[in-house]
Chains A and B, each alone.
Chain A
Amino acid sequence: MSDAPKIPQTEPRYSATFDKNTASEIRRAAATGIYDIRGAGAKRKLPHFDDLLFLGASISRYPLEGYREKCGTDVILGNRFAKKPIHLKTPVTIAGMSFGALSGPAKEALGRGASAVGTSTTTGDGGMTPEERGQSSILVYQYLPSRYGMNPDDLRKADAIEVVIGQGAKPGGGGMLLGQKISDRVAKMRCLPKGVDQRSACRHPDWTGPDDLEIKIAEIREITDWEKPIYVKVGATRPYFDVALAVKAGADVVVLDGMQGGTAATQEVFIEHVGIPILAAIRPAVQALQDLGMHRKVQLIVSGGIRNGADVAKALALGADAVAIGTAALIALGDNDPHLEEEYNKLGTTAGAYDDWHEGKDPAGITTQDPELMKRLDPVKAGRRLANYLSVLTMEAQVIARACGKSHLHNLEPEDLVALTLEASAMAKVPLAGTSWIPGVSQF
């Protein structure tokens, strides 16, 4: 036995730069030669609505009585040009998600849930399904670069049409639906051979710039006899200019999706490194509308990380007319539920972190085309859960609006907000809490 004194050792230290997740991705890339593909939106911590707080009423403002005084929640979308604008009972809508990415029962459940509370759902790449049209009392039909399943009969059946330029998870990128999910039905709807990787184009095939877009929107209006509201959806990158150009091109509604907005399948590097958080995008978008004299005339729907009524209220206070939810709606249906933990473990993941939606093995039966797995989702029960959740979002937003003395959610305004961080203050252009300072706007 040695008498030499024991030298204390430092604890093993992981690199903050090459952390465990980063190193595991390097090993995965080296083994496979292909980038990591996954679903959902940005997972990194970003400046978000949590960094804002409402200033409830006190002496200088008076609140509304919680259960007795009215606080309106309805919203009209598309009254700029469309003969038949949409009237929603709540400003919380369901974002575009494709049949193909989602199962038929999942689309049906979205329709059931949304219709129960008087809001809309949105199709996605791959066309309109009877499940969704049948259950969605208000259905927005997406017009995408791939034009998979696009046909004029469905355009006429839609309640509104959304021209998709991009989405927050991958602005500038196209879609991807891997062969595992190209079932007979999906293949038929998209006019592709079964089992091939389906790549959706990133640009529309028959127009390029904003002047062309104006003609394209006019074409859709002509085809539908100017009845349907036309939305234009953009991923959040340069929101001031994109919103201004969408308005110039004739949009009735602009949909602005931040980088937290989900996708069915895209490269991880794309999701985490392209686009900006929705918090940073709303004010420039609203500014563009105000500069053009079109705020509240062309409606703004924002999405990307909306989770609760506070997020809804904050988005509206910053100037949006409505919000859209995607990831949260899937969670409400049953996605990533802890009761499926054992099955998520078998897939090498854990409930709450499952994002390999493109592989079609979703144990919750939502992001799959597997006939056995999709049977697990009861569209009636799942639709009820979504309806409950949408009601909670609406009521929570009302709670906050009443506390701020507002008789309608649309009366919320930036003046009702302060920021907890300098980043949020600069992005949302509301003062840092306890000060009158807005970096980039006012002096400290």
Chain B
Amino acid sequence: METVTFDLEKTPLREVNQYLHSDAAELDGKTVTITNPGGAHNIAVGLKADVDVVIDGHAGYYAAGMNQVANVVIEGSAGTGVAENMMSGRVHVKGFASNAAGATAQGGLLVIDGDAGLRCGISMKGVDIVVGGSVGSFSAFMAQAGNLVILGDAGEALGDSLYEARIFVRGNIQSLGADCEVKPMDEEARQILVKLLKESGHADVDPDSFTLLGSARTLYNFHVDNAGAY
């Protein structure tokens, strides 16, 4: 497998991203390593080829934003909006992730080994997110579709104004947001959880130690008696 290395201390980010936007034929099957990322913003955004990218350190905002197909590994921590609006592929943060991890993402898998900040999975639209640690408040706010798996604890207002996304939590939940409720773990949900734990390197974690949350669907159409919940 061919490896291409860019040193962000020597090569401008623009050149790196431009290379990562090359035709699929140029990139397919390659591993691109980005050294000395230094927390730079917008590393490896808009990828659309079957390429492995390793960010060898910490990334700033929007790392792997809008990812399609590619497999991006961040060896350090990631700033706000990692894998935002991801469509497909896989993004793996080995450290911590800041706010809005996986925001509005429509597909693919986002794995965060450490904790995630506020609003993890906000407005998610089909992505799967597995957080090895805990998530901050307002996570899965207005989450529309997909699955958020939290091995640690969750902050306040988890799943507020939730639509059809599923949330699996193993630890404590500070509070649930409006219209988010505990659901019985049916077989379909359990299988999804088992699959995601396996894909994210947590195959040894007991799926029965998780609580499933979903939408109570009381806010789907306005009713005056629910006005206080909006």
Contact = CB atoms under 8 A, between A and B. Distances in A.
A and B physically associate:
yes
Interface of A: 32-34, 146-147, 150-153, 155, 178-179, 190-193, 195-197, 199, 201, 205-207, 212, 215-216, 218-219, 222-226
Closest 7 CB pairs of A and B: A223-B46, A33-B224, A206-B81, A147-B104, A206-B100, A196-B220, A152-B66
B interface, by DSSP: helix, strand, loop or mixed?
A: loop
Given A147-B103, A192-B144, A199-B161, 10 more contacts: A33-B224, A34-B222, A155-B46, A179-B220, A199-B142, A205-B122, A205-B141, A206-B100, A206-B122, A215-B42
Contact of B84 (A146, A179, A206): A206
Contacts of B18: 225
B72 to A, nearest CB: 14
Interface in B177-230: 220-222, 224, 227
B77 interface: no
Contacts of B85: 147, 150-152
Given A147-B104, A206-B62, A179 B122 contact: no
Contacts of B84: 205-206
28 contacts: A33-B224, A33-B227, A147-B104, A147-B123, A151-B66, A152-B46, A153-B68, A155-B66, A190-B144, A191-B125, A192-B144, A193-B163, A195-B220, A195-B221, A205-B84, A205-B100, A205-B119, A206-B62, A207-B61, A207-B80, A207-B81, A218-B42, A219-B62, A219-B65, A223-B45, A223-B46, A225-B18, A226-B14
A215 B119 contact: no
Contact of A222 (B42, B48, B125, B142): B42
B90 interface: no
Contacts of B163: 192-193, 196
Contacts of A199: 142, 161
B46 A224 contact: yes
A193 B164 contact: yes
A341 B50 CA distance: 58
B86 to A, nearest CB: 10
B30 interface: no
A218 B41 contact: yes
A151 B227 CA distance: 33
Interface string B33-63: 0000000011001101000000000001110
Contacts of A155: 46, 66
Contacts of A193: 163-164, 220
Contacts of B224: 32-34
Interface string B81-92: 100110100000
Contacts of A197: 220-222
A222 B222 contact: no
Contact of A151 (B106, B145, B220): B106
Given A147-B85, A206-B100, A222 B122 contact: no
B116 to A, nearest CB: 13
A340 to B, nearest CB: 28
Contacts, number: 107
A178 to B, nearest CB: 8
Contacts of A223: 45-46, 65-66
Contacts of B103: 147, 205-206
Contact of A212 (B42, B48, B61): B61
A381 to B, nearest CB: 36
Contacts of A191: 106, 125-126, 144-145
B19 to A, nearest CB: 11
A216 B221 contact: no
Contacts of B122: 205-206
B17 interface: yes
A223 B111 CA distance: 22
A201 B125 CA distance: 14
Nearest to B125: A191
B61 A215 contact: yes
Contacts of A152: 46, 48, 66, 68, 85, 87
A356 to B, nearest CB: 15
A197 B161 CA distance: 12
A196 B161 CA distance: 12
B17 A222 contact: yes
Contacts of B164: 192-193
B141 to A, nearest CB: 8
Contacts of A195: 220-221
Given A206-B80, A222-B14, A150 B104 contact: yes
A196 B48 contact: no
B60 to A, nearest CB: 8
Interface in B95-135: 99-100, 103-104, 106, 119, 122-123, 125-126
Contacts of B167: none
B125 to A, nearest CB: 4
Contacts of A150: 85, 104
